[in-house]
Amino acid sequence: MNVRDEQLLRELNLYPLWVRRGVPVQEEVVPASVGMEGSPQVKTAAPVEMVMPVAELPEIAAIPEVASLDWTALKEKVRDCTACKLREGCTQTVFGVGDEQADWLFVGEGPGAEEDAQGEPFVGQAGKLLDNMLFSIGLKRGDNVYIANIVKCRPSNNRVPEADEIATCMPYLRQQIALIKPKLIIALGKTAATALLGRDAPLGSLRGTTYDYHGTPLIITYHPAYLLRSPGEKAKAWQDLKSAVALMQ
Ligand code: URA
């Protein structure tokens, strides 16, 4: 194992791997092995077969014509948006970043302080962990990957966005999804999961299922910021990523 792989596994809290003598190593706890150019090889989990439709989304506040906008017009619309109170408290809108024809779409909650300053999602500490999570399954920001948030403006003091703010902003994400046409959506954390599924439930109970988001498979995993606070949960996120890879194969 090279130093970079070791660092990555440490970051994911999966290294060193302690094995009690006489107890066979289970497939699931072997997260990766060296073998691929530049990134660890992923041992995939069995494909997830169950697909549940998402519940009907609650009525979303109308932002006229969003559904007909192309990338340029959508970016302008988001940049100029003052449809909810979040815009008053943020420096700039944070549209999203990456490959506009990506197969993989990762959706977070909303910009934090650093994202608000830089205008790009996931550029702070949580973003570094997200980049490592991407790397662990052979992905890279901007390369077949798009990263967006449920709300495009930073909620002050990093509070959770409110239901009306989410409802107002959702048409933008819906249109981003329509334009990207990803093969898989990964919701990062409870806010993204709740907004995309249209229902509230503990995040742990939402994991492990593949949902049908208006025709696109959707899976749920932990938010990187949560994983930074609760590193013991990183192994579960790793399982979710392996399921995602299996699904994509
Ligand atoms: N957390 C998020 O949900 N999104 C970001 O862009 C940054 C932190």
* Residue from 95, 122, 146 to probe ligand 1 pocket by mutation (most atoms less than 8 Å from CB): 122
* Residue from 93, 105, 109, 151 to probe ligand 1 pocket by mutation (most atoms less than 8 Å from CB): 109
Tell me what pLDDT residue 44 has.
44
How far, in Å, from the CA of 24 to the mean position of ligand 1?
39
| More confident position, 63 or 210 | 210
Name the DSSP class of 154: P
Q: What is the percent of the chain where pLDDT is above 70?
A: 75
Domains belonging to the chain, first-starting first, are: 63-248 (3.40.470.10)
Spell out which residues line ligand 1, taking CB within 6 angstroms. 108-112, 115, 121-122, 126, 149, 225
pTM for the full predicted model = 0.84
Residues belonging to the chain: 249
- Give the whole-angstrom CA distance, residue 115 versus residue 91: 10
Q: How many CA atoms lie within 13 A of 147 on its CB side?
A: 26
- Give the whole-angstrom CA distance, residue 144 versus residue 70: 19
How far, in Å, from the CA of 145 to the mean position of ligand 1?
16
Query: What tokens does 119 get?
Result: 């205008």
Ligand 1, residue 147: give the atom nearest the CA: 6
| Helices 234-248, 125-136: crossing angle, 10 deg rounding | 50
Residue 67: how many CB atoms within 10 A of its CB?
A: 11
Please state, rounded to an integer, the average pLDDT across all residues of the chain: 84
- Give the whole-angstrom CA distance, residue 95 versus residue 219: 22
- Average pLDDT of span 236-248: 97
List the one residue out of 172, 240, 180 whose CA is nearest residue 215.
180
Tell the residue nearest (CA) to atom 6 of ligand 1.
121
| More confident position, 42 or 84 | 84
- Average pLDDT of span 205-216: 94
Report residue 164's pLDDT band, with 50, 70 and 90 as the boundaries.
Answer: very high
How far, in Å, from the CA of 2 to the mean position of ligand 1?
30
